């Protein structure tokens, strides 16, 4: 042991003189056990260990959770076909900017012709009903017709007017996209924006929204210069989230880039399965780097609180355990013992300091810099 200590002293002297950073071998007295390291004060100085007392710190400056990028619902339009038919022409492509009312696709549909046919029939029925009503009215007033016939004609006339109004409203809906009175319907953009997605090709049969089937979204039009992030916040953190709080967002596609925004809305109910609430964050996206459906890590700023905490730099990972080195009492020769100890901390909180939930008490001295060096000595 004395020979080993002498070799260690010579080695440390060479490290200090040459300015090189090499692993320091610890002097282990006979009484040392697994998980403990003994160092002399000079060795601690040369190894540049920093020991800090465990005490209350300001923690929880941020709640870190997961989220997903979505469209701003007020700046996007999901376009469906109101008629059933076959697509004959595509007039807008992904990436193209379109104005409100611009043509997107042409659909050949019998629904259009049927709508205008129903309108003409309703107009004819109203004309006939009006004549019959006037005739029965004149006969009734001249005491030449029965009251029953008069009332029946009056009812039929009212029904004809209602049917004409229904047919007129339906025809007006189709007329906004119909070319004249043909069976072609032109699907048009409802808002100004970029064609973000197109899910239809020429010759494809599409289902109408008003035909009772499952209509498919044909185009997505919107703006991506501002997006939403829908974050999931656990019940325990919900009371700390405030509307208007600052938000920092990171995505896998850009690991070194941060996107900033604010909390716009906090849900009033929890998901019964995950016990989380939705928090909507508004994120400016002028370069359109963020895409809908991207997964994100969301850091939401909250008020700090006092708790027994340690710095992140003190933590070591050993398999599935989290460890720290705790400075214990020294012996008569001035050697200092360091003990490796498992701890539990709340790593879901943002910030430099993490609250301790198990393994340490106030006043314990832990290694906050150089713990990796000690780990290599075991």
Residues 242 and 263: beta-carbon distance below 8 Å: yes
CATH of 2-59+306-377, one of 2.40.420.20, 3.10.129.10, 3.30.1330.10, 1.20.1090.10: 2.40.420.20
Question: Which residue numbers in the chain have pLDDT < 70?
Answer: 1-33, 60, 170-171, 173-182, 210-213, 348-351, 378
Give residue-wise pLDDT tens across range 31-45.
556 778 888 777 877
Residues 365 and 352: beta-carbon distance below 8 Å: no
pTM greater than the 0.75 cutoff: no
Q: What pLDDT was estimated at residue 181?
A: 55
Residues 182 and 117: beta-carbon distance below 8 Å: no
Q: What pLDDT was estimated at residue 218?
A: 94
H or E element in which residue 283 lies? strand 276-284
Measured over the CA atoms of residue 20, residue 23, residue 25 and residue 31, the dihedral's sign is positive
Q: What pLDDT was estimated at residue 13?
A: 46
Same fold, 76-101+190-222 and 110-182: no
Give residue-wise pLDDT tens across range 187-245.
999 999 999 999 999 999 998 876 666 788 999 999 999 999 999 999 988 888 999 99
Residue closest to 183 by CA, chosen among 105, 116, 121: 116
H or E element in which residue 133 lies? helix 110-141
For domain 63-72+223-303, the CATH superfamily is Efflux pump adaptor protein, beta barrel domain (2.40.30.170)
DSSP state of 210: G
Q: What pLDDT was estimated at residue 231?
A: 96
Q: What pLDDT was estimated at residue 131?
A: 87
CA trace torsion 336, 341, 346, 347 (10° rounding):
80
Classify 269 as helix, strand or coil: coil
Domain spans of the chain, in order of start: 2-59+306-377, 63-72+223-303, 76-101+190-222, 110-182
For domain 110-182, the CATH superfamily is Helix hairpin bin (1.10.287.470)
Q: Which CATH architecture has domain 76-101+190-222?
A: Beta Barrel (2.40)
């Amino acid at each position: 042991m004395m020979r080993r200590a002498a070799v260690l002293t010579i080695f440390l002297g060479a490290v200090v003189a040459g300015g090189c950073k090499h692993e320091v071998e610890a002097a282990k007295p006979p009484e040392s056990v697994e998980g403990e390291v003994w160092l002399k004060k000079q060795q601690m100085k040369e190894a540049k260990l920093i020991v800090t007392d465990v005490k209350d710190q300001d923690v929880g400056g941020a709640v870190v959770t997961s989220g997903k990028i979505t469209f701003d619902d007020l700046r996007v339009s999901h376009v469906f076909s109101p008629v059933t038919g076959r697509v004959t022409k595509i007039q807008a492509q992904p990436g193209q900017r379109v104005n409100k009312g611009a043509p997107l696709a042409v659909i050949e549909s019998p629904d259009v012709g049927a709508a205008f046919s129903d309108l003409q029939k309703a107009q004819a029925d109203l004309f006939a009903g009006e004549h019959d009503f006037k005739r029965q009215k004149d006969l009734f007033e001249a005491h030449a017709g029965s009251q029953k016939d008069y009332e029946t004609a009056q009812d039929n006339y009212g029904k004809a007017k209602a049917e004409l109004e229904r047919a007129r409203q339906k025809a007006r809906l189709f007329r906004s996209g119909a070319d004249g009175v043909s069976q072609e319907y032109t699907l048009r953009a409802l808002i100004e924006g970029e064609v973000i997605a197109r899910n239809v090709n020429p010759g494809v049969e599409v289902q109408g929204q008003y035909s009772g089937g499952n209509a498919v979204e044909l185009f997505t039009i919107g703006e991506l210069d501002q997006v939403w992030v829908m974050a999931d916040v656990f019940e325990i953190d919900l009371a700390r989230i405030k509307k208007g709080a600052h938000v920092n967002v990171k995505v896998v596609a850009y690991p070194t880039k941060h996107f900033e925004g604010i909390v716009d809305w906090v849900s009033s109910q929890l998901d019964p399965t995950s016990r989380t609430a939705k928090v909507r964050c508004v994120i400016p996206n002028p370069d359109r780097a963020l895409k809908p459906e991207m997964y994100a890590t969301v850091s939401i700023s909250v008020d700090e609180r006092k708790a027994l905490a340690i710095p992140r730099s003190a933590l070591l990972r050993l398999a599935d355990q989290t460890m720290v080195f705790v400075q214990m009492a020294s012996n008569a020769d001035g050697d200092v013992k360091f003990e490796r100890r498992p701890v539990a901390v709340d790593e879901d909180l943002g910030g430099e300091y993490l609250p301790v939930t198990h393994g340490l008490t106030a006043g314990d001295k832990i290694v906050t810099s150089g713990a990796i060096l000690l780990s290599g000595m075991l």
